[in-house]
A and B are shown apart, each in its own frame.
Chain A
Amino acid sequence: MPGCSVRRGVHAPAFLGSMLTAVLLASAPIGAQAPATPEPTLVPGPGMELTMQRCVICHEAQHITRSRLTRAEWLENTELMIKRGAPVAAGEVAPIVEYLFTYYGRNDDGSPRPRPAGAAAAAAPVAPAAGGARDVQALLATYGCTGCHAVDAKLVGPSFREVARRFGSEAGGDDRVARRIREGGAGDWGSIPMPPHPAINDAELRSLVAWVFAQR
Chain B
Amino acid sequence: MDQTPPRASAPLERLHASRREFLTRVAQASAVLGGSAIAGSAVAQAPADAGAGIPNAAVLAGKDSVLAIHSERPLTASVPAEHHNFLVTPTRRMFVRNNLNTPELDASKHVLTVRGLVDRELTLTLDDLRKMNVWEQQAMLECAGAGRTAFRPTPRGTPWSETGGMGCPKWTGVSLAEILRMAGVRNGAVHVAFLGMDRGPLPTIPPVVRSIPMAKAMERHTMIATGMNGETLTPVHGAPMRSLVPGWVGSASIKWVTAIEVLPAPFKGTYMDDSYRIPGIPVAPGEKMPADALSTEDWPVKSMITFPGPNARYRRGQVVPIEGRAWVGESSIRRVDLSFDEGVTWQRASLDRRGDRYAWRRFSLDYFPEKSGYQTVLARATDDRGNAQPFLPAWNPLGYYWNGVHRVGFTVEA
Contacts and interface: CB of A to CB of B under 8 A. Distances in A.
Interface of A: 1, 8-9, 11-13, 15-17, 19-20, 22-24, 30-31, 34-35, 39, 57-60, 62-63, 66-70, 72-73, 76-77, 80, 83-87, 106, 108, 110, 136-137, 140-141, 146-148, 150-156, 159, 161-162, 190, 192, 211, 214-215
B61 interface: yes
A69 B289 CA distance: 14
Contact of B156 (A69, A72, A154): A69
B26, B58, B77, B156 interface centre (most CB from chain A within 10 Å): B156
B271 to A, nearest CB: 9
A68 B65 CA distance: 29
Contacts of A152: 2, 4-7, 12
A123 B61 CA distance: 41
A112 to B, nearest CB: 9
B61 A146 contact: no
B49 A70 contact: no
Interface residues of B, number: 60
A106 to B, nearest CB: 6
Contacts of B58: 23, 30-31
Contacts of B288: 72, 76
Contact of A13 (B65, B100, B156): B65
Contacts of A12: 67-69, 77
A15 to B, nearest CB: 7
Nearest to A10: B69
A60 B55 contact: no
B2 A66 contact: no
Contact of B55 (A24, A30, A59, A140): A30
Contacts of A58: 73-74, 100, 200-202, 205
B139 to A, nearest CB: 26
Interface stretch (B13-21, B117-125, B222-230): B13-21
B11 A215 contact: yes
Given A30-B58, A59-B74, A87 B153 contact: no
Contact of A62 (B61, B71, B152): B71
Contacts of A77: 156
B264 interface: no
Contacts of B6: 151-152
A214 B14 CA distance: 14
A16 B18 contact: no
7 contacts: A20-B61, A31-B58, A60-B71, A84-B274, A85-B26, A85-B206, A147-B202
B49 A156 contact: no
Interface string B64-94: 0111110111100100000000000000000
Contact of B286 (A67, A70, A155, A156): A70
A73 B286 contact: yes
A83 to B, nearest CB: 5
B290 interface: no
A137 B14 contact: yes
Contact of A153 (B26, B48, B73, B204): B48
B52 A154 contact: yes
Given A31-B55, A106-B153, A150-B15, A85 B72 contact: no
Interface in B20-69: 25-26, 29, 32, 48-52, 54-55, 57-58, 60-61, 63, 65-69
B159 interface: yes
Interface in B147-164: 152-154, 156, 159
B329 to A, nearest CB: 26
Contacts of B15: 137, 140, 146, 150-151
Contacts of B100: 58
